[in-house]
Amino acid sequence: MSDLAYLSIHEAQDLLRSKEISAVELTQAVLERIYALDNAVKAYLTVAPDMALAQAAAADEARAKGAPELPLLGIPLAIKDILSLEGLPTTCGSRILENYVPPYSATAVERLQAAGAVMLGKTNTDEFAMGSSTENSAYFTTRNPWDLARVPGGSSGGSAAAVAAGMALGALGSDTGGSVRQPAALCGVVGLKPTYGRVSRWGLVAFASSLDQIGPLARTVPDVALLLAAMTGYDERDATSVEAPAIDPAALTADVRGLRIGVPREYFVEGIQPEVEAAVRAAVDTLVALGAEAVDVSLPHTDYALPAYYLIAPAEASANLARFDGMRYGPRVGGGELWDTYRQTRGQGFGPEVKRRIMLGTYALSAGYYDAYYLKASQVRTLIRRDFDQALERCDVLLAPTAPTTAFRIGENVDDPLQMYLQDVLTLALSLAGLPGLSLPCGFDGAGLPIGLQVMGRAFDEATVLRVAHAYEAATEWHKRRPALGETE
């Protein structure tokens, strides 16, 4: 049964359609793996076996009746606990939403369910998606399935770990500054941040509204393409949603002949782990051997991405999180003066990283500092986007490392916020530009930890990003490896 849990979505589809397995059997196999392993990995905040098995049974019944074949019929998926799923707690990894159960589902979740997907439960996250290691969850730290002493990345670490450990065939995460791509890299799976506006944010609890995007994680590039296609499209409930060109997973090709691949020199930063740089440069060589052309490019404002992001994102977070005041959501602490209630509720409900970012953002937006900080960071953001536009006029995609190192040890950076923020240094610029990016495995270091390759593309050109990633994946074997977790000798 554990082999069923490690099927790709496409492999599972073939078996389900030929009726060699049922959706209930597949879902039960994944649930059994969750029961066996999640006490060690801690990927899930909430597991919903009754919901999942009922949805799987409905999928089997629909298939037996000859209903039209849905693209994800009977496929068990996990949802990051910052996305609303009707009937299940949505805590955002925070004590301030500990008992909140939404009466609706996010648009992206609705669309996956309409495509026939089975919902396994909600995965762990850094509190309000603020973190790079999932150590900022108010409940527990998720562990990397490749080495339980190491982090899975963040803030979508629970979703990435669930896919890597065979505890979901695919998952949803959210990416504000790299929170789908970085954990995908550290856990050895595929993760995609779509172009800003392609996937509706309705039902995603906001961290930084001009940056947040929902993205899929899975074991293969075709699987990610399938998940993206199922949830993409305009949504009138989201004012930032865009009517973009559709994604056709069936049209995905591995032919990269004639494509120009830019290699930005600024992404091979001082201090990058040598094995990471070597693996990414070898990936470039692989694509060149497949017929692509490598081009040296420059993104000159890359060094400013980190400070710009940590002004813009906390500023937007301070505004978005003002709603959690004990009056409308979650617990109310204290019953005296109004300001005392605010202070006590937020003081006890929010963790230290959330408080840190609220303070940073409030300061950046305060009278006398707005022009010097938030406005200046917004101007730098425009320059960063211009860099990408100019580079992508010459090239079809850009290739770079996803993270500067492989997974670090739990607790290693927890007392050093700046060192933790640097873990996203290679993903932040793309988020500020609002462009699509994908991470996929491109090797392992000497400790057996996965290395991620980042493929970046033009706005709404996920098709080319997926094409290049699929070509590399098809020519290599890295994505076929899996952690030894739970396997018997």
Phi-psi region of 330 (alpha: psi -120 to 50; beta: other; left: phi over 0): left
Q: Strand 170-175 and strand 118-123: pairing?
A: unpaired
Mean pLDDT within 112-134: 98
Q: Is the pLDDT score of 140 beyond 60? A: yes
Q: Is the pLDDT score of 1 beyond 70? A: no
Q: Is the pLDDT score of 292 beyond 70? A: yes
Claim: this prediction has a pTM higher than 0.85: yes
Rounded to the nearest 10 degrees, what angle do helices 305-320 and 352-365 cross at? 100
Of 47-56, 268-277, 344-353, highest mean pLDDT: 47-56
pLDDT tens column, 65-108: 999 999 999 999 999 999 999 999 999 999 999 989 999 999 99
Q: Where are the alpha helices (DSSP H) in 272-375?
A: 274-289, 305-320, 338-349, 352-365
Mean pLDDT within 50-67: 97
Classify residue 483 by burial, with Cβ atoms within 10 Å: 0-12, 13-18, 19+.
buried
**What's residue 488's pLDDT?**
44
Mean pLDDT within 293-310: 97
- Per the prediction, the chain carries an average pLDDT of 95
Q: Point out the residues that are catalytic.
A: 80, 155, 179
pLDDT tens column, 205-249: 999 999 999 999 999 999 999 999 999 999 999 999 999 999 999
Stronger pLDDT, 59 or 348, i.e. the higher one = 59
**What's residue 487's pLDDT?**
65
Residue with tokens 């996990």: 78
Mean pLDDT within 184-189: 98
The gap from C-alpha 25 to its chain's centroid, in whole angstroms, comes to 28
**Token pair for residue 102?**
């939404």
The gap from C-alpha 83 to its chain's centroid, in whole angstroms, comes to 12
Which of the four pLDDT bands, split at 50, 70 and 90, describes residue 370? confident
Structural domain boundaries in the chain = 2-258
CB 366, CB 316: distance < 8 Å: no
The dotted CATH code for 2-258 is 3.90.1300.10
| Dist CA 54 CA 59 (whole Å) | 9
CB 369, CB 418: distance < 8 Å: no
**What's residue 2's pLDDT?**
53
| Dist CA 380 CA 394 (whole Å) | 22
Instruction: Tell me the DSSP string of 411-463.
Output: TSSTT-HHHHHGGGTTTHHHHHHT--EEEEEEEE-TTS-EEEEEEEESTT-HH
Look at 88-97, 128-137, 245-254, 324-333 and tell me which has the smallest mean pLDDT. Answer: 324-333
